[in-house]
Amino acid sequence: MRQVLRDIGQNRVRPRRRALIAVPVALGATATLMAMTACGSGSSSGNADVPALTPGPDAAVAACTELMDRLPGTVLSLARNSAQEPTGIATWGNPAISLTCGATPTGPSTDECIDINDVNWVFSESSAGYTFLTYGRDPAVQVWVPASVERSSATSALVDLEKAVKPLRTTERQCSDLADSAPSTSPG
């Protein structure tokens, strides 16, 4: 296995090898942790795992409109598609990297979580690509990166989108290491 996340210049991308759990914690907590393990990826052509580009339930809120105005013209050097997009959705390239603002947020989860420059993302992978969903941001944002993008480069899309996503309101939820949230077995 190869380590997927690495230091990419000035951007903080910190790998962890332990399993993580996304749990609600106090806003003042400083333990923002992450992990990802390497797995193979397949082709996205004709795959049912490619997400449908449908607006999220909160796509029309003002925060999503503002986020859409902050989006960059390129992500991973791919130009934003000029076709009319549904409210709260933006795409870059073909096969497209997509962003959906106002997505349904996830609750506590044992899915892998990463922190990129103080934005927490819950990560999942399929043969078609990589899905990243903000954790602790309101409204929630989902980014999908097709498997045609090298797995080790998929998180770079999040770095490209950081300036648009980071201003979203934070909630009391942030990623935490499963071991940090387990009760202590030592006498106190």
- What's the average model confidence in pLDDT over 25-41? 28
Q: Give the pLDDT confidence score for residue 91 in this predicted structure.
A: 96
Distance CA 84, CA 53 (A): 12
Share of the chain above pLDDT 70, in %: 66
Quote the tokens at residue 105. Answer: 């947020």
Q: Is the dihedral of CA 18, 150, 108, 64 positive or negative?
A: positive
Q: What pTM was computed for the model?
A: 0.71
Distance CA 164, CA 101 (A): 11
pLDDT greater than 50 at residue 154? yes
Give 171 or 17, the one with higher predicted confidence: 171
Residue 18 identity (one-letter amino acid): R
Is the distance from CB of 93 to CB of 76 less than 8 angstroms?
Answer: yes
Share of the chain above pLDDT 90, in %: 55
- What's the average model confidence in pLDDT over 41-53? 52
Q: Give the pLDDT confidence score for residue 49 in this predicted structure.
A: 61
pLDDT greater than 70 at residue 48? no
- What's the average model confidence in pLDDT over 148-159? 95
How much is the mean pLDDT over the chain?
Answer: 76
How many C-beta atoms lie closer than 10 Å to residue 87's C-beta? 13
Chain position carrying tokens 């076709």? 83
Give 106 or 29, the one with higher predicted confidence: 106
Residue 109 sits at φ, ψ, to 5 deg, of -150, 155
